[in-house]
Amino acid sequence: MKRSRIQTTRGTFEVFTEGKGQPIAVTHLYQSFRGNGDFFTQKLCEHYRVILINLRGCHESPSINDREEYSMETAIQDLEAIRTSLGYSAWAFAGTSAGGMLALQYAVEKPSSLTKIIAGGLTPSFAYLDDEDSIYSTRNPRASTIKEIMEK
């Protein structure tokens, strides 16, 4: 992935880009990236122009001066500044774990800035596996259905 630094009204952010097609921003919220992304990011590169973003407090992006700067609100403001600096009127956004939660919040707060979201890994634990109402629980009589779907 190609590394660059994007000047915005909110500071200079480190980003990595790769791929062709519709732009899709990817970040985690608290995790720092070093340029190779991960399996999730590499798969997105096959279909999109991926912009992998180190948010505030991560690697060579602006440092954190106050705990409040770790908020999703601050992250969304930074993402909007990056999007604007890159010249996109809207982009897709993808995230897993905390980045997935950020995707949901971003979609609620700035729907006109997004063409779509991809949000994964939103459960903070495996407790859903023990809930018999969960399709993923072996105690759910319909659990075999999801297993069949996932094996296809």
The residue among 56, 66, 52, 50 whose CA lies nearest residue 13 is 56
Asked whether residue 47 carries a pLDDT value surpassing 70, the answer given is yes
What's the CATH number of domain 2-121, 3.40.190.10, 2.60.40.10, 3.40.50.1820, 1.10.3710.10? 3.40.50.1820
The residue among 109, 111, 92 whose CA lies nearest residue 26 is 92
- Higher pLDDT pick, 128 / 12: 12
Asked whether residue 129 carries a pLDDT value surpassing 80, the answer given is no
Give the per-residue pLDDT at 123.
67
In the structure, what pLDDT confidence band is assigned to residue 132 with cuts at 50, 70 and 90?
Answer: confident
Asked whether residue 152 carries a pLDDT value surpassing 70, the answer given is no
- Per residue in 73-95, pLDDT (tens digit) is 999 999 999 999 999 999 999 99
**Residues facing 93 on adjacent strands:** 25, 117
Asked whether residue 138 carries a pLDDT value surpassing 70, the answer given is yes
**Burial class, 122, CB count within 10 angstroms (exposed 0-12 / middle 13-18 / buried 19+):** middle
pTM: 0.79
Q: Using CA atoms, how far apart are residues 129 and 135, in angstroms rounded to an integer? A: 8
Mean pLDDT score of the chain, rounded to an integer? 88
Give the per-residue pLDDT at 55.
93
Give the per-residue pLDDT at 124.
59
Give the per-residue pLDDT at 147.
63
Q: Where are the beta strands (DSSP E) in the chain?
A: 2-8, 11-18, 23-26, 49-53, 91-96, 114-120
Q: Where do the domains of the chain lie? A: 2-121, 124-152
* Amino acid sitting at position 90: A
